[in-house]
Amino acid sequence: MNTPNKLTIARMCVTPFFLLALVLEFPCHFLLAAFLFAAASVTDFIDGRLARKNNQITVFGKLLDPVADKVLTTAALLAFIRLDLCSVWAVWLILTREFAVTSMRLIASAQGIVIPANIFGKIKTACQMIFILVILLLGEFSARAPWFAAHPSVYPAVSDVLVWITAVLAVVSGVIYFARAKKRIDFFR
């Protein structure tokens, strides 16, 4: 197994520890969760770079890399619902898009077609990871800042707005992905 694929698997292995840090309440748990999420997110950037640079792009990596991203971000989104930091509807839109695009990739793969992520999907993923990190850091900040204690509805509201922005980006990038994939996939096969 090559290094990029090992990094992808490592990202998936870090996810349960990230989730535990996020949902268990102890001092600085948001900060630990942010660190684990950032470390896992960096592996996404590094594994792609290494695979392209060293000509180590594999079918395994093409298929598992987006799954590892979804495992990590879905863990965060589900925890945010549990912590009342976002709307279940926004998360539903994001996850529906993810399942639909993954299904389309599997159909294409069965036909010998690889449909890589497009720029809109990459922007969605980057924004989603940045927004999750911001929400985690705001969680740590809100636990320590007196102003947040005096305004307890600010943190959940900001978090919800960021997740809704991600949902809109997810839907837009999903529609673009389907429009492009529709031209390449035989749906009657």
Instruction: Check: CB of residue 14 under 8 Å from CB of residue 35.
Output: no
CATH fold of 3-182, please? Answer: Four Helix Bundle (Hemerythrin (Met), subunit A) (1.20.120)
* Residue of 41, 87, 34 lying closest to 68 (CA atoms): 41
> Is 89 buried (19+), middle (13-18) or exposed (0-12) by CB count in 10 A?
exposed
pLDDT digits (tens, 9 = 90+) for 107-138: 887 888 877 777 888 899 889 999 999 999 99
Average pLDDT, the chain: 89
Split at pLDDT 50, 70, 90, the class of 143 is confident
Q: What angle do CA 128, 106, 126 make, to 5 degrees?
A: 15
Q: Domain ranges in the chain?
A: 3-182
Closest CA to 70 of 35, 95, 47: 95
Give tens-digit pLDDT for 146-161. Answer: 777 778 889 999 999 9
Residue 170 in this model has a pLDDT that exceeds 90: yes
